[in-house]
Amino acid sequence: MLGKTAGGLFWMSRQLERSENTARMIETGQRIALTRGSDSDGEWASILRTAAVSAGHAQKYETATRENAIDWMLRDKDNPSSVLCSVETARNNARMVRTALTHESWEAVNAAYLKIKDLLSRRVSERDLPQVLSAIRQRSAFVRGAMHGTLLRNDIYDFIRIGTFMERADNTARILDVKYYVLLPMASSVGSRLDNVQWETILRSVSAEGGYRMTHGHKIRPREIAQFLLLDKRMPRSLNFCCSKIRANLSYLASDYGQQLDSHARIDTLCRRFMSHDIDAIFDYGLHEYIQDFLAALADLSRQIEIDYRFYE
């Protein structure tokens, strides 16, 4: 496989995952706005931070409002991580790696792009927002389904999966990074109504409410939330889950190619360093510091994969 193709697959799946995550975050923000009423604008600033798009937004708008935050995250061409831009980049990457994809996978990506481009061709009204967001998530699911059902489990699939889980781990970690303070033991002892909303927000933004309930019951507690999002082995958006998938796919590549490279050592270290402690040890270390370190290690791994598999040179 061409190095360029590996890079294209990796970025295609990262961008697709990103568009879906952004849609989910907007959904969460909208939900808070509806349940909390007038003082929700502050929440949009935090949502923008979670999506790592607040700097660009601040350049364009003085304050974050519901309207301008949603428009920025959904369809602003100046925001490279807006849903529209992500899907467009994903599709351009898919075009570049067209020969590595099955007909069905390519068609699913292309159809997602055409549909989402059409839905986002004008400002989305509050009334249409739920349908638009659900269409975005649905299109993403179609793509995943087409790939899951038709692609060979070879290096092509490995690079796609690695891209997906890199982006997902990054996303979950960023949500926690923005919201870590509401999970700290000090704040949680009170358990005010406000805290409950925040905790719910965190779970919602990673589609984990149901999963949490099945695992930890109806009581939403910060320690369990942190445990669930960081370390749970079955929760498909937890850091532990994402890392084990990255590790698995990297190891398939290693055995396929018969090559142990630096990125393999790095993912092993990353897993050992971040996934082998219990949640209390993490709180003792400092949740914020832990997440910061994790994000840095993840970015480092991403760069190493680029080098090892010759994405660019």
Partner 1 sequence: MTEYFDEMWGLTGQTRAPYKKFSDWFDGEQPARLRAKQREAEELFRLTGITFNVYGREEAEERLIPFDIIPRVISAREWKKLSKGIDQRVRAINAFLDDIYHRQEIIRAGRIPGEMIEKNEAYLPHMIGVRPPGGIYTHIVGIDLVRTDEDTFYVLEDNARTPSGVSYMLENRETMLQMFPELFSQTRVQPVSGYPRALQQSLAACAPEGCNGPPTVAVLTPGIYNAAYYEHSFLADKMGVELVEGSDLRIVDGHVAMRTTRGYQPIDVLYRRIDDDFLDPLNFNPDSMLGVPGIMDVYRAGRITIANAPGGGISDDKAIYSYMPEIVEFYTGEKAILENVPTWRCNEPDSLKYVLDNLKDLVVKEVHGSGGYGMLIGPTSSKKELAAFESKLRARPNNYIAQPTLSLSTVPIFTKSGLAPRHVDLRPYVLVSPDGVNITPGGLTRVALKKGSLVVNSSQGGGTKDTWVLED
Residue numbers at the binding site for partner 1 (CB under 8 A): 1-6, 92, 95-96, 98-99, 103, 106-107, 110-111, 114, 155, 257, 259, 309-310, 313
Whether residue 157 contacts residue 268, with contact meaning beta carbons closer than 8 Å, is answered with: no
Q: How far apart are CA 225 and CA 154, in angstroms?
A: 35
CB of 118 to partner 1, least distance (A): 11
CB of 309 to partner 1, least distance (A): 4
Whether residue 231 contacts residue 173, with contact meaning beta carbons closer than 8 Å, is answered with: no
Cβ proximity to partner 1: between 3 and 191 the closer is 3
CB of 259 to partner 1, least distance (A): 7
Cβ proximity to partner 1: between 96 and 187 the closer is 96
Q: How far is CA 205 from CA 29, 57, 87, 176, in A?
A: 9, 20, 20, 10
CB of 160 to partner 1, least distance (A): 14
Q: How far apart are CA 32 and CA 43, in angstroms?
A: 8
One-letter-per-residue 3-state SS of 240-279: HHHHHHHHHHHHHHHHHHCCCCHHHHHHHHHHHHHHCCCH
Whether residue 2 contacts residue 312, with contact meaning beta carbons closer than 8 Å, is answered with: no
- On the 0-12 / 13-18 / 19+ scale of CB atoms within 10 A, 125 is exposed
Cβ proximity to partner 1: between 93 and 164 the closer is 93
CB of 257 to partner 1, least distance (A): 6
Cβ proximity to partner 1: between 129 and 254 the closer is 254
Cβ proximity to partner 1: between 7 and 222 the closer is 7
CB of 81 to partner 1, least distance (A): 21
Cβ proximity to partner 1: between 36 and 98 the closer is 98
Q: How far apart are CA 84 and CA 75, in angstroms?
A: 5
Check residue 151 and report its DSSP letter: S
